[in-house]
A = this chain, B = another copy of it.
């Protein structure tokens, strides 16, 4: 907990508010590696923990748990435990979660549509930088 924090300043409110407001909450969730992918996967239907993990193939158990917990906490995902002999837990999107799917879809469409442009921009940028680095004189 960093006991040695000399927290003197109570700085300014950071950006106007119509800039972030509640966006940060969403962005933070969108920003981490797995949340979006989980939402996308779940958009197709409910999945059990292992099935979910397998469908992502690359996520660790820990990360999946954390991700899914956060989504549950935010009311985007419902977690249902069936008290069977081998424990069985199902995850599914809530209505809120589904509504977010549309936005993610929009994001996907955009990035898909503009990927070439971004790639081109990057290539150009890298080239310029390479030139400037190669012959500075």
Binding site for B on A (CB under 8 A): 11-15, 18-23, 25-27, 30-32, 36-37, 40-41, 54-58, 72-76, 96, 99-100, 103-104, 106-108, 110-112, 114-115, 117-118, 120-122, 124-126
Contact = CB atoms under 8 A, between A and B. Distances in A.
Nearest to A39: B19
Q: Summarize A's interface: helix, strand, loop or mixed.
A: helix
Contact of A30 (B31, B58, B76, B117): B31
State the 7 A-B residue pairs at the shortest beta-carbon distance, nearest first.
A75-B121, A31-B31, A26-B111, A22-B115, A22-B111, A14-B58, A73-B125
B122 A73 contact: yes
Nearest to A77: B121
A99 B14 CA distance: 24
A28 B24 CA distance: 14
Contacts of A25: 111, 115, 118
Nearest to A74: B118
Contacts of A108: 18-19, 21-23
